[in-house]
Amino acid sequence: MGNSFTCISHEEERRPTKSSAGRGKGGSKTRKYMRRLSLSCSGSSSTSSSKKGVNKPKKKIRERHHQDHHGHDKNSHIIQEETLAATNLLFNQTPRNSNYVVPPNFRQSTSSSGGSGPVSAVQSPKKSTCGFVRTSSSRRKSSVNPVIKPNQELKKVEVSETKRCVLVHGGGFGAWCWYRTITLLEKHGFQVDAVDLTGSGISSTDTNTITSLDHYSKPLLHFLESLKPNEKVILVGHDFGGACMSYAMEMFPTKISKAVFISAVMLANGQSTLDLFNQPLGSNDLMQQAHIFLYANGKKNPPTAVDYDRSLLRDFIFDKSPPKDLALSSVSMRPFPFAPIVEKLHVSEKNYGSIRRFYIKTMEDCAIPVPLQDVMIKLNPPEQVFQLKGADHAPFFSRPQSLNRILVEIAKLPFKKSS
């Protein structure tokens, strides 16, 4: 380092040449100065920094620089040959069990100033289409590379019978309640549809005018009817949406691959939702207080719809859900029809029974308590039962990630061939 610093003449620092001073500011002046510095250090021109050399005509200065630079090229050429020989020796001595591979387009590189530079042991960087710089380094990539991680891509759904899901909301809810589930399932490669049942969500139908389960389930039935002949879907239902889902399973058994009941009404043949909740374990004080019956036809007639007491929503349905989802539900929930609740469901083993069913239990549920969920599972056993710990009656809000994992797991289960 000491020799490098002594190559700089104090006179050169104080008195730049006329030609270099006329170049103006920027890279040209710097490159001119650096070339003169290189020539003076090489020993080819010991008087390049003298006052006499500076005052010579420009033509002679150029000739002398050309001669000096020609001599420098000869020395550089020798250095290049020696470096190349050493590099080749290094490559030839690489152990056989090494993973190192000699780059196929290993080549020399020249300096940016126009002169010949030393041989480079690394390829010139290339830019990929994404804008990243790729080098020719052939060492084994680390598994903890901070830029590109192996298997970092989101795993898609494995081969299954279908990757299309249809989400059916519960009583009082709408398609809006599935916004988290829709996002998570789509990230896993699913095509997801959420329906608004009649009188729910953005439906303009007055809930009090709905008189049957068929009427309430019309949007779901129309959707299944519109599917292509060989297309199947996975039905996912919540709460009272389970009754609508069961009705659709009986109507369109060839359109449904699997049915998933999430803390949902899963009725046996000849049973109604009201029958289910009339059991000793099916009702509690909070449930009775949270429901408000509406009588559009007068109190001398049966109720026409059921609504929720907004002041009890947190304790009854959303006690484990985030406050923002509680707020969303408070302004979005609508009354749901009463007539479908008292209607008995009639299903057959040939249609309804041919579809694979799965049940997801919500373990912190106050609206449909765990004992009542167990009663439904015992009376109408599904193929498999899953548990969502820490989930209230709205697991799509309280445990969205865990719910998504279970749904993906169910979707991946290989379909059974009919015997």
pLDDT, position 162 = 85
pLDDT, position 386 = 98
Is residue 6 situated within a structural domain?
no
First to last CA, the chain: 85
pLDDT, position 416 = 67
Q: Which long-range contacts (CB under 8 A, 24 or more apart) does 187-191 make?
A: 187/154, 188/154, 188/155, 188/156, 188/157, 188/404, 188/408, 189/156, 189/157, 189/163, 190/157, 190/163, 190/164, 190/165, 190/411, 191/163, 191/164, 191/165
* CA dihedral over 150, 154, 156, 157, signed as positive or negative: positive
> 124-146 pLDDT, tens per residue?
444 433 333 333 334 443 333 33
Q: Over 90: is that where the pLDDT of 291 sits?
A: yes
Residue 157 · residue 163 · CB < 8 Å: yes
Is residue 257 situated within a structural domain?
yes
CA 36 – CA 235 distance, rounded (Å)? 80
What tokens appear for 276 in the block? 């289910």
Q: Comparing C-alpha atoms, which of 246, 242, 343 is closest to residue 302?
A: 343
Q: Which long-range contacts (CB under 8 A, 24 or more apart) does 318-325 make?
A: 318/392, 318/393, 318/394, 318/397, 318/398, 319/364, 319/366, 319/392, 320/364, 320/390, 320/391, 320/392, 320/398, 320/399, 321/392, 321/394, 321/397, 321/398, 322/397, 322/398, 325/394, 325/397
CA 291 – CA 308 distance, rounded (Å)? 5
Residue 366 · residue 263 · CB < 8 Å: no
Is residue 153 situated within a structural domain?
no
**Comparison of pLDDT for 106 and 388, the residue scoring more:** 388
Query: DSSP secondary-structure letter at 191?
Result: E
Q: Over 80: is that where the pLDDT of 357 sits?
A: yes
Reduce the DSSP state of residue 126 to 3 states and report it.
strand
Q: For the beta carbon of residue 389, count every other beta carbon within 10 angstroms.
A: 10
Is residue 137 situated within a structural domain?
no
Catalytic residues: 239, 365, 393
pLDDT, position 397 = 98
Q: For the beta carbon of residue 69, count every other beta carbon within 10 angstroms.
A: 18
Q: Over 70: is that where the pLDDT of 418 sits?
A: no
Is residue 23 situated within a structural domain?
no
> 206-233 pLDDT, tens per residue?
999 999 999 999 999 999 999 999 999 9
CATH number for the domain harbouring residue 353: 3.40.50.1820
Is residue 147 situated within a structural domain?
no
Looking at residues 275-280, what average pLDDT do you find?
Answer: 85
Is residue 9 situated within a structural domain?
no
Q: Comparing C-alpha atoms, which of 291, 301, 306, 307 is closest to residue 340?
A: 306
- Taking the C-alpha atoms of 164, 372, 249 and 384 in order, what is their torsion angle to the nearest 10 degrees? 60
**Comparison of pLDDT for 314 and 120, the residue scoring more:** 314
> 171-194 pLDDT, tens per residue?
999 999 999 999 999 999 999 999
pLDDT, position 286 = 87
Is residue 128 situated within a structural domain?
no
- Domain containing 265 equals 160-410
Q: For the beta carbon of residue 107, count every other beta carbon within 10 angstroms.
A: 10
b/e sequence 145-155, b meaning 16+ C-beta within 10 Å: eeeeeeeeeee
Cross-sheet strand order for the sheet of 291-294: 291-294, 305-308, 336-337
> 358-416 pLDDT, tens per residue?
999 999 999 999 999 999 999 999 999 999 999 999 999 999 999 999 999 999 998 66
Confidence (pTM): 0.63
Q: How many domains does the chain have?
A: 1
The DSSP secondary structure of 75-113, one letter per residue, reads: HHHHHHHHHHHHHHHHHHTS-TT------TT------TT
Q: Over 50: is that where the pLDDT of 253 sits?
A: yes
CA 278 – CA 285 distance, rounded (Å)? 13
Q: Comparing C-alpha atoms, which of 181, 172, 91, 195 is closest to residue 136?
A: 91
